[in-house]
Amino acid sequence: DTGVSQDPRHKITKRGQNVTFRCDPISEHNRLYWYRQTLGQGPEFLTYFQNEAQLEKSRLLSDRFSAERPKGSFSTLEIQRTEQGDSAMYLCASSVGLTNEQFFGPGTRLTVL
């Protein structure tokens, strides 16, 4: 069991550039979540997938953000035209079945200059 993995672990980009993050959940976990965490705050829910279907999206997820989970396995989160306010830790979590216990990845730290 390799746990939830995220790639890259760190990303530094210039304002206006596009970035894409990848999350590989625990195999056979059908539920996948994306969160954003800024300094001194708890994780903020962004979006939720059940298998390949994106079932929930937070109003925090502006139209510059898009997430996919094409085959119900790994997921990508893309941010277009990055802004300095997008600088944060982006966390991915997965779970299985009816349990609410989520397993988190180590996160991708994004810095927008």
Whichever of 26 and 80 has its CB closer to other proteins, that residue is 26
Long-range contacts, stretch 63-67, CB < 8 angstroms, 24+ apart: 67/34
Site for other proteins in 52-111 (CB under 8 A): 55-56, 58, 91, 93, 100-107
Taking contact as CB under 8 A, which single stretch among the options 13-21, 41-49, 59-67, 73-81 is the one that binds other proteins? 41-49
The single residue among 44, 68, 73, 96 that binds other proteins, judged by CB under 8 A, is 44
Number of residues that bind other proteins (CB under 8 A): 25
Amino acid at 7: D
**Please, which residue, 84 or 99, has the CB nearer to other proteins?**
99
β-strand 10-13 against 108-112: which pairing, if any?
A: parallel
> What DSSP string runs through 27-85?
TT--EEEEEEE-TTS--EEEEEEETTEEEEE-TTS-TTEEEE-TTSS-EEEEESS--GG
* Binding range to other proteins, per CB under 8 A, among 13-21, 44-52, 68-76, 80-88: 44-52
Q: What Rg value do the Cα atoms of the chain yield, rounded?
A: 13
Q: Is 31 in the site for other proteins (CB under 8 A)?
A: yes
Task: Please report, as ranges, the residues that interact with other proteins according to CB under 8 A.
Answer: 4, 31, 33, 35, 40-45, 48, 50, 55-56, 58, 91, 93, 100-107
